[in-house]
Structure 1
Amino acid sequence: MEIHGFCAPGFESLYDTFAANFRDCGDTGAAFAVRQHGELIISLWAGSADGESREPYMEETLANVFSSSKGVLALLALQQVADGALELDRPVADYWPEFAAAGKEEITPRQLLCHRAGLIAFREKVADDLIYDWAAACAQVAATDPWWTPGSRQGYAPFLFGWSLGGLLERATGQPLPELYHLGLGKPLDLDGGFGALGHKSTRIADVAPLKKPLPELRENAVGRAIKEDRGGPVAMAFTNPVSLMMGTNSREWRGAVIPAANGHFSARDLAAIYGDLALDSPTCLPAELVREAGREQSRGRDAILQAEVSFGAGFILRGGSADLRFGGPRGFGHPGAGGSVGFADPERELGCGYVTTRLGQSLFMDRRSANLVEQLYGIL
């Protein structure tokens, strides 16, 4: 496997670690990037962007990063707080009156960001094509009952996070979410991708597919077990209602839609740029006090949906002790995506990291591929 890109002096061993992911862990197209002190110090890419190995994977190739998209959306929300368009502890319904339906009148943006709103899944079965209709999906979220009393427990919202928070941002600002992204992040940070796969700086789009051979996981797949045990329960409904949430990821409809909790298409250097900026003492995309809010623990516990002990800041998962949540130093924060992608910031080292892949593992957090790269990186730092 030919590895493309560069590593700054002293980081050359990352070539071998990245190559080992292809040799031993099933990668067929992937990229890894790191920024430190505002400079790109590592950018590696290799393999193919399609299943037929006809399209080479490039530095600017966009891959679906699934829930790594949530960190980008959370950053957009915090930008609106900085601009005065949004208050974290004011009811969502003040900006979006329809959202008050079904007992949600007191839910706040902060509760949405740290997954304490109880709005984790549609209560009723919805049509498969709902997810491709932005206005209809937002309206459905506004009408949906919470699964428990808002604020009473922590429960990750795999998909509704995007429509609830994105719908709120549009109503608070009067601007479409793609425009907020372009003005707030895409243009200032010169990013390759964005929500959906179309209309971005890069037109190179990778197909994604499951790993041909599952990796040994870093933790038990408790989510999969919970889905099998109760097909109508909150965990199953959160991930499979509708089933198109799990099955349409290379389709034209998926790529053309705005599903901001799950269909962000980014390059590794995009994620490194976003988190590398957040890790700086003086970030350009967010005031330092709101970066601290992003990385301040606001909810912690055994998550009712993720079936694991997780700590959330304002829209970001905080560094944990397990290998699949080891986002750099003690103040690290970021967001992994189902299948293996991850982006995170380490403010202590002013470092931002991004990994994207076309071969999807079974973990909802970091898997062995990104964990190997991060472990090797921090062995050098």
Structure 2
Amino acid sequence: MVGVVLKVDVPPDLVRGDVDEGYGPVADAFRRNFAERGEIGAACAAYRDGRKVVDLWGGYADGLRRSPWQENTLVTMFSTTKGVASLALALAHSKRLLDYDEPVATYWPEFAEAGKQNVTVRQLLSHQAGLAAIDRPLGLEHLADLDALADALAVQAPAWTPGTRHGYHGISLGWYEGELLRRIDPQHRSLGRYFAEEIAAPLDLDFFIGLPDDVDADRLATVHGFKPAEMALHTHEMPWRFVLAFLNPRSLSARSFGNPKLLGVIDNYNRRDVLRVELPAANGTGEVRAVARAYSAAISGELGLSDDTLAALTETAPPPSGGADDLVLRVETRYSLGYAKPFPRFVFGSSANQAFGTMGTGGSFGFADPDTGIGFAYAMNRTGFRLWDDPREHALRQALYVDVLKERPQQP
């Protein structure tokens, strides 16, 4: 079942776009999402070896107002943002502005507080630093003041010994990435500005980390989100251990997503004041094809990543010393350098380790697969309950990999 009790019949003529010859099964799966899987509005794009081969969009950008999803509709992609934002750190690594195995405190001395002096950049970006929850209460005004936010981040004590465990840094990862980048960038730009100037502009991407006020509101899709309490009705889709933890406000899981408190409610991501601040782990808003193109550029050479950076992104990611159980999501996961990597319960791409990407709340997903030269992205405005493998996204990826590319099935 897809999230939110909102019944919308989408006329077939509102499903649009195009695919290259041979990619018809992806278009067929996209149409079936509207006919059979409760899709309201969505887009899907794929690039292969730098060339766009899938570009689909359709349905309603707002299911209540029945405003059609247009070719240039922008949608908030939640944690799919993490992968896009982490390209900024990868580009900085290629420019020799940082070393993944150096302590974060080498670049950001204040970070060493509270026993974090030995935390490496690799551990931080791989969700191993124990900094998923921030204890100091934050409001949107603090998020808009990067100096104040940096102070709150620097004094945070780890929830576990860094490097021994991992746990999804659902929102905080982007803040830590942003301050690290601000310290190493010669111009001391925020992550959103660095991304805009160094990645989005050269690649002509309509994707924003921190939505400018001059972006027309009519271009924005409305996210139809579920309420936290609804999660308890969907433990057959969302892991029950995570649901129980998330609904306990004192748990690490709940605290990782609830500071500021308003960020724990999906529908609040429709607010312009929430989209205006930079949440590099959560509120990236843009065209879906921009995410696919960004991943494609990362592996095709167009972005300018060095060979050693790309090798670091694609290599096998060993779990932390204490095992692969995620202390926030309460399931097995695998992360590396800002990305999810394939693991037994989440199969994506054509091999066991090369692909890298991030999934977002509700069902969105973007990733790169160097083995096949694929950059892929899907996002929607009706939120589902799975942490990954939303049936709509999975159907598209399965059609691409099995029916078109003749690669392995995208499932355990």
- Relative to the length of structure 2, the TM-score reads 0.85
- In structure 2, the CA distance between the partners of 1:262 and 1:338, relative to structure 1 (3 Å rule), is same
Indicate the SS of the match to 1:249: helix
**Following the alignment from structure 2 to structure 1, what is the Cα–Cα distance between the partners of residues 71 and 149?**
33
Residue 88 of structure 1 corresponds to: 100
The equivalent position to 1:114 in structure 2, one of 117, 126, 135, is: 126
CA contact (8 A) 1:327 1:334 kept: no
**Following the alignment from structure 2 to structure 1, what is the Cα–Cα distance between the partners of residues 384 and 146?**
28
- In structure 2, the CA distance between the partners of 1:13 and 1:239, relative to structure 1 (3 Å rule), is same
Identity of aligned residues (%): 33
The equivalent position to 1:318 in structure 2, one of 332, 337, 341, is: 341
Task: Tell me if 1:340 matches 2:363.
Answer: yes
Residue 294 of structure 1 corresponds to: 313
Q: Where do residues 360-379 of structure 1 align in structure 2 (5 Å cutoff)?
A: 360-379=383-402
CA drift at 1:338: 0.9
Residue 381 of structure 2 corresponds to: 358
- In structure 2, the CA distance between the partners of 1:266 and 1:328, relative to structure 1 (3 Å rule), is farther
The equivalent position to 2:86 in structure 1, one of 74, 78, 85, is: 74
Residue 232 of structure 1 corresponds to: 250
- In structure 2, the CA distance between the partners of 1:208 and 1:187, relative to structure 1 (3 Å rule), is same
Residue 225 of structure 2 corresponds to: 210
Residue 190 of structure 1 corresponds to: 204
CA contact (8 A) 2:46 2:52 kept: yes
Query: What does the per-residue CA deviation read over 1:186-244, in whole Å, with 9 as the maximum and x for residues that have no partner?
Result: 0121101120232688872111012699989656343212223x431211211223321
**Following the alignment from structure 1 to structure 2, what is the Cα–Cα distance between the partners of residues 193 and 201?**
11
Task: Tell me if 1:249 matches 2:263.
Answer: no
The equivalent position to 1:172 in structure 2, one of 184, 192, 199, is: 184
Query: What does the per-residue CA deviation read over 1:18-65, in whole Å, with 9 as the maximum and x for residues that have no partner?
Result: 122122222211000010011100100001212433432123211111
CA contact (8 A) 2:136 2:152 kept: no
CA drift at 1:123: 2.7
**Following the alignment from structure 2 to structure 1, what is the Cα–Cα distance between the partners of residues 226 and 333?**
26
**Structure 2: 5+ residue runs without aligned partners?**
1-10, 406-412
Residue 59 of structure 1 corresponds to: 71
**Following the alignment from structure 1 to structure 2, what is the Cα–Cα distance between the partners of residues 136 and 325?**
40
**Structure 1: 5+ residue runs without aligned partners?**
none
Report the residue type matching 1:326 in the other structure.
F
CA drift at 1:136: 2.7
Q: Which has the larger displacement, 285-294 or 118-127?
A: 118-127
**Following the alignment from structure 1 to structure 2, what is the Cα–Cα distance between the partners of residues 190 and 161?**
26
CA contact (8 A) 2:20 2:54 kept: yes
**Following the alignment from structure 1 to structure 2, what is the Cα–Cα distance between the partners of residues 309 and 195?**
29
- In structure 2, the CA distance between the partners of 1:136 and 1:327, relative to structure 1 (3 Å rule), is farther
CA contact (8 A) 1:332 1:346 kept: yes
CA contact (8 A) 1:25 1:215 kept: no
**Following the alignment from structure 1 to structure 2, what is the Cα–Cα distance between the partners of residues 51 and 211?**
14
- Relative to the length of structure 1, the TM-score reads 0.92
CA drift at 1:325: 4.2
**Following the alignment from structure 2 to structure 1, what is the Cα–Cα distance between the partners of residues 214 and 305?**
22
Query: What does the per-residue CA deviation read over 1:48-87, in whole Å, with 9 as the maximum and x for residues that have no partner?
Result: 2124334321232111111111111211111111112112
Q: Which has the larger displacement, 45-54 or 68-77?
A: 45-54
CA drift at 1:329: 3.5
Indicate the SS of the match to 1:210: coil
**Following the alignment from structure 2 to structure 1, what is the Cα–Cα distance between the partners of residues 154 and 307?**
32
Report the residue type matching 2:336 in the other structure.
G
- In structure 2, the CA distance between the partners of 1:227 and 1:218, relative to structure 1 (3 Å rule), is closer
Indicate the SS of the match to 1:75: helix
